[in-house]
Amino acid sequence: MRRIVLAAVVAAVGVGLVATTGSAQNPGQGQGQGQARTIVLYEQDEAGTFRFVDAKPFTRVSRRGPRKFSVGDAFVLSNPLFSDAAATQRAGRLRVHCLAMNASRRFDRVSYMCDGIYTLQGGTLAVSALVRVTEGAATFQLAVVGGTGAYEGANGQVTIEDAERGNSKDTIHLVTG
């Protein structure tokens, strides 16, 4: 269950940092009013941490995960980010908090409000999405809702593709101004 939830959240709320347009050394450099740029990053699930937070009414949690999800249940995760699929070039860290918005005995019937912060070279990016993870879902989209430092005023969209070995490829399309 941990693997399913972790893969779902990583796929739902991931971000990367290899600029395919612009400078990889200083991602914010040269970005003017109304300009768009694309960034790609890879998350490494195995090196991250994941925790389920059970709210009342409490449920039994086994190796396969919670038996029931209730409103207010949450999970948090933290994953390292890499600029290459081989995970050799460290680019930052992703931290995510997701809160269950409805109750269900099945994970794929729960909607989660997920907020994430990506700590990257030069600043942070904030993302948010209402996520419902279904079996076999391979692509997710979420909103970039802001940033700091080199990403100040950023907005746009992230497309997450579940990549090989349970890691995700995250393509971020940023627009400023």
Neighbours of 105 (CB within 10 A): 11
Residue 154 has pLDDT above 70, yes or no: yes
- The residue with greater pLDDT, 160 or 93, is 93
pLDDT at position 34: 61
pTM for the whole structure: 0.76
pLDDT at position 64: 79
Residue 15 has pLDDT above 70, yes or no: no
Residue 31 has pLDDT above 50, yes or no: no
Q: Region 126-134: what's the mean pLDDT?
A: 88
Residue 177 has pLDDT above 90, yes or no: no
Tokens of 62: 């086994």
Q: In angstroms, what CA-CA distances link 163 with 9, 35, 41, 79, 125?
A: 13, 28, 11, 15, 22
> In the CATH hierarchy, which top-level class contains the domain 2-175?
mainly beta
The secondary structure of residue 69, as a DSSP letter, is: B
- The residue with greater pLDDT, 14 or 105, is 105
- Residue 177 and residue 162: Cα distance in Å, rounded? 30
Residue 117 has pLDDT above 70, yes or no: yes
Task: Quickly state the pLDDT bin for 111 (edges 50, 70, 90).
Answer: very high
pLDDT at position 115: 95
Tokens 């079996």 belong to residue: 135
pLDDT at position 33: 54
Q: Region 102-124: what's the mean pLDDT?
A: 92
Q: Region 58-79: what's the mean pLDDT?
A: 88
Residue 140 has pLDDT above 90, yes or no: no
pLDDT-above-90 percentage for the chain: 41
- Residue 62 and residue 9: Cα distance in Å, rounded? 19
- The mean predicted confidence, pLDDT, of the chain is 79
Tokens 């990016």 belong to residue: 125
Taking the domains of the chain in order of start, what are their residue ranges? Answer: 2-175
Residues 117 and 124 sit within 8 Å (Cβ to Cβ):
yes
